[in-house]
Amino acid sequence: MSDATVESAKRAAAQQAVKDHFDPSATNVGIGSGTTIVYVVEAIKAVSTNPAIRFIPTGYQSRQVIVQAGLTPVAFDSLPENTMFDVAFDGADEVDAELNCIKGGGACLFQEKLVAERARKFVCVADYRKKQDRLLTVWPTIPIEVAPIAVPTVLKGLRTLGSDGPKLRTTLLEKSGPLKTDQDFFIVDAPFKTLLCESDVKAGKGKGDGSDGTWEVNKLSQAIKALTGVLEVGIFSGLNGPDAEAIRSTDGVSAVTSGQKPVAVYFGMQDGSVEVRTAK
- Residue 126's Cβ-side half-sphere holds a number of Cα atoms within 13 Å equal to 22
**Largest Cα–Cα separation, the chain:** 54
Cα distances (angstroms) measured from residue 247 to each of 240, 278, 279: 11, 20, 16
CA distance 255 to 151: 32
Marked catalytic residue, from 42, 81, 98, 112: 112
Instruction: Output Rg (C-alpha) for the chain, integer angstroms.
Output: 18
| 7 is annotated as an active-site residue | no
Helices (H) and strands (E) in the chain, counts: 8, 14
CA distance 151 to 187: 9
CA distance 132 to 129: 8
Whether residue 183 contacts residue 107, with contact meaning beta carbons closer than 8 Å, is answered with: no
CA distance 229 to 208: 24
Catalytic residue positions, numbered: 112
